[in-house]
């Protein structure tokens, strides 16, 4: 049986390669962008919906015919006269109807529901992964997560409800109107008028629901964002005794969520009142004329019964249809809210058919590079710098001098506003980002780890590496010793132990050593060190220093350090100030010039460069 289900579940592959274009910002365009792989099966779904609706209305009409057959003659000879016809009706009820309903649900559940939700989420996640670092710096991770998850559910559930509810209801109403019109045209008129009135009322309420739903969804995303932000930074909150303030911060978002939910529920109450009035009009408008037509001998008892049954069935369906429509418009509001984050173009994009970096000597050149983060000042201002193949260059400067900006541009986390950055003569904007970052090994002062095993975190450097290579890298990073003693709450130990979100189960020094291990394993031709030993104690730092210098052999290196003693042995030191290069040379040359570097060296306390 599972193989049979699998047949329908695999009609669409939600993870198939798709266009990497920015998702459309309009609701309908966004929906249709996801319907492509489903279109032909949706046509089958529409056809089965029509057939099921015809069977349902046909059975109700046939029940009226059975009443007329019973009334027309006595029990004598009833089965001989009508047995074959009733036998055919039994086959429809026991065979055709279950088969069509089953086929409809196989297409609804196995084909559509099991795939569309994950397709939307996967494509949204893929698009967000391509956003620049600056994009994530301006967003709550919790809000983005909420929007990705809710968008998938909203697109899938809204589409599901259209076929299960709206399409079926339209088919049912059309079939009922045809049947009633066949009995007597005057019976179809009140049904058609009721449908028009019902549609106008639903449209009026649904528009208001869409607006209220978008605001409700926005408030829900904000609550999620603030709660996740609090949990992710729980140590800071406790350290500064901010529990009360944090409660008030989250509570204000929850109060806004409650208010917007209450406004949404007011519409639901208003909807219930209007629906009750409309259903009363339907019953009176169809059954009343049917009774009058029977009283003057125009229609039969069975036809009155069929009209009453069709109307009562539609009366019961109307509340469900209204709920479906409201849910669809609620989903529309959720999708619109999600598109604020999803329909955002990538700030940093690969050029069309961008080739991979053709690395020859690993020479780096910054040519007239300026970047002010859109503010017109700050950042970098006309930087020219060449790092020759195999050269080890240290970057020095006070906080805000532009050192990290230079490194971020080299990694193409952003594109410079002016100038070029080249590696072996190739403009970084013309090569693929993945090949660029694959050629650079980076150890920063704030290395977050993924909430996975130590093994998984180290193997990010080179996934195809074997166990021995991974352990060797950990040993070089002075990490193997403490890793052997790790054990997490699930009983996993050593390299299999999980490190917690952002690596919080490890000390700062331990996280840094794991980060260094994965860069050792990566063995990239360009090495960037941004305060690589800042989180290490003196003893471990002394042990790591030899490893770091060993890592530098044969590589082009850019190292940022506030401890000037850690870069004094490099080939060249570049001094930055206010976004410009103001001095460069060897350690001894710069001391002899008695400039900024010499001043910084003289003013250091304990080998650390302060902000002043």
Give the confidence band of 302 by pLDDT, cuts at 50, 70, 90.
confident
The arithmetic mean of pLDDT across residues 151-164, rounded, is 91
pLDDT on residue 489: 81
The residues, ordered by sequence, that sit 6+ positions from 23 with a Cβ below 8 Å of its Cβ are: 30, 33, 123, 124, 127, 339, 342, 343
Strand ranges of the sheet holding 418-423, from the earlier edge strand across to the other edge: 380-387, 364-371, 418-423, 426-427
pLDDT on residue 384: 94
Give the residue, 138 or 367, on which the prediction is more confident: 367
- CA distances 585 to 386, 473, 569, 578, 592, Å, are 13, 33, 12, 19, 10
Helix, coil or strand: residue 527: strand
pLDDT on residue 87: 86
Q: Which of 131, 128, 130, 132 is nearest to 145 (CA)?
A: 128
pLDDT on residue 503: 60
Give the confidence band of 20 by pLDDT, cuts at 50, 70, 90.
confident
DSSP assignment letter at 36 = G
- The strand pair at 572-577 and 526-530 is best described as unpaired
List the single range of 357-371, 376-390, 422-436 with lowest mean pLDDT.
Answer: 376-390
Tokens 């350290």 correspond to what residue? Answer: 239
The structure tokens listed for 295 are 């009283």
Q: Which of 72, 70, 169, 162 is nearest to 116 (CA)?
A: 162
The residues, ordered by sequence, that sit 6+ positions from 182 with a Cβ below 8 Å of its Cβ are: none
Phi-psi region of 379 (alpha: psi -120 to 50; beta: other; left: phi over 0): left
pTM over 0.85: no
Helix, coil or strand: residue 285: helix
Q: Which of 607, 571, 489, 151 is nearest to 340 (CA)?
A: 151
Percentage above 90 pLDDT, the chain:
26
* Cα angle 536-541-545, degrees, rounded to a multiple of 5: 140
Contact 330, 208 (CB under 8 A): no
Query: Is the dihedral angle over the CA atoms 291, 292, 295, 298 positive or is it negative?
Result: negative
List the single range of 147-151, 315-319, 536-540 with lowest mean pLDDT.
Answer: 536-540
pLDDT on residue 567: 80
Give the residue, 567 or 535, on which the prediction is more confident: 567
pLDDT on residue 89: 82
Whether 282 shows a pLDDT value over 70: the answer reads: yes
Give the residue, 607 or 452, on which the prediction is more confident: 452
pLDDT on residue 534: 63
The segment with the largest mean pLDDT, out of 126-130, 489-493, 559-563, is 126-130
Looking at every residue in the chain, the average pLDDT score rounds to: 84
Contact 202, 323 (CB under 8 A): no
Which neighbouring-strand residues pair with 556? Answer: 526
Domains of the chain in sequence order:
20-342 (1.20.1560.10)
pLDDT on residue 515: 87
The DSSP H or E segment spanning 581 is strand 580-585
Q: How far apart, in Å, do the first and last CA atoms of the chain sit? A: 73
The arithmetic mean of pLDDT across residues 364-391, rounded, is 88
pLDDT on residue 609: 45
């Amino acid at each position: 049986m599972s193989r049979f289900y699998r047949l329908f579940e695999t009609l669409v592959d939600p993870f198939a390669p798709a266009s990497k274009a920015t998702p459309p910002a309009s609701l309908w365009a966004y929906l249709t962008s996801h319907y492509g792989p489903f279109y032909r099966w949706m046509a089958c779904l529409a056809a089965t919906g029509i057939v099921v609706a015809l069977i349902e209305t046909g059975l109700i009409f046939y029940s009226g015919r059975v009443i007329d057959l019973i009334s027309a003659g006595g029990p004598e000879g009833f089965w001989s006269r009508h047995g074959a016809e009733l036998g055919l009706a039994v086959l429809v009820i026991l065979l055709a109807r279950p088969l069509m309903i089953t086929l409809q649900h196989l297409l609804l559940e196995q084909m559509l529901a099991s795939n569309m939700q994950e397709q939307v989420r996967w494509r949204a996640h893929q698009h967000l992964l391509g956003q620049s670092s600056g994009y994530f710096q301006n967003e709550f991770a919790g809000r983005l997560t909420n929007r990705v998850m809710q968008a998938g559910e909203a697109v899938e559930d809204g589409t599901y409800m259209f076929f299960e509810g709206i399409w079926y209801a339209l088919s049912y109403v059309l079939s009922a109107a045809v049947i009633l019109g066949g009995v007597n045209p005057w019976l179809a008129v009140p049904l058609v008028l009721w449908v028009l009135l019902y549609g106008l009322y639903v449209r009026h309420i649904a528009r208001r629901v869409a607006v209220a739903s978008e605001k409700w969804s926005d408030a829900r995303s904000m609550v999620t964002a603030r709660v996740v932000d609090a949990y992710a930074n729980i140590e800071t909150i406790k350290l500064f005794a901010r529990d009360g303030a944090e409660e008030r911060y989250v509570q204000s978002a929850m109060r806004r969520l409650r208010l917007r939910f209450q406004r949404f529920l007011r519409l639901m109450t208003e909807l219930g009142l209007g629906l009750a009035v409309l259903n009363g009009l339907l019953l009176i408008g169809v059954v009343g004329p049917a009774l009058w037509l029977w009283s003057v001998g125009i229609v039969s008892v069975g036809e009155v019964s069929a009209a009453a049954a069709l109307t009562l069935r539609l009366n019961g369906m109307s509340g469900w249809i209204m709920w479906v429509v409201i849910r669809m418009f609620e989903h529309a509001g959720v999708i619109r809210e999600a598109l604020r984050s999803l329909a955002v173009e990538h700030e940093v994009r690969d050029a069309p058919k961008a080739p991979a970096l053709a690395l020859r000597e690993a020479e780096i050149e910054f040519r007239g590079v300026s970047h002010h983060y859109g503010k017109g000042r700050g950042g970098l201002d006309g930087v020219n710098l060449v790092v020759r193949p195999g050269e080890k260059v240290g970057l020095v400067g006070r906080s805000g001098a532009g050192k990290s900006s230079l490194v971020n541009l080299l990694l193409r986390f952003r594109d410079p506003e002016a100038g070029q950055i080249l590696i072996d003569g190739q403009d970084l904007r013309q090569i693929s980002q993945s090949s660029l970052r694959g050629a650079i090994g980076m150890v920063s002062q704030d290395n977050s780890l993924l909430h996975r095993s130590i093994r998984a975190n180290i193997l990010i450097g080179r996934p195809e590496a074997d166990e021995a290579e991974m352990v060797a890298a950990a040993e070089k990073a002075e990490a193997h010793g403490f890793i052997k003693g790790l054990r997490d709450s699930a009983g996993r130990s050593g390299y299999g132990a999980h490190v917690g979100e952002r690596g919080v189960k490890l000390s700062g020094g331990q996280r840094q050593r794991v980060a260094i291990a994965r860069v050792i394993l990566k063995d990239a031709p360009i090495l960037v060190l941004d305060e690589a030993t800042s989180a290490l104690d003196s003893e471990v730092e002394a042990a790591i220093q030899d490893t770091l210098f060993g890592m530098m052999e044969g590589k082009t290196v850019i190292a940022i350090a506030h401890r000037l003693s850690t870069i004094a042995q490099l080939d060249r030191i570049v001094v930055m100030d206010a976004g410009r290069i103001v001095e460069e040379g060897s350690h001894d040359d710069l001391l002899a010039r008695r400039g900024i570097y010499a001043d910084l060296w003289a003013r250091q306390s304990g080998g650390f460069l302060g902000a002043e």
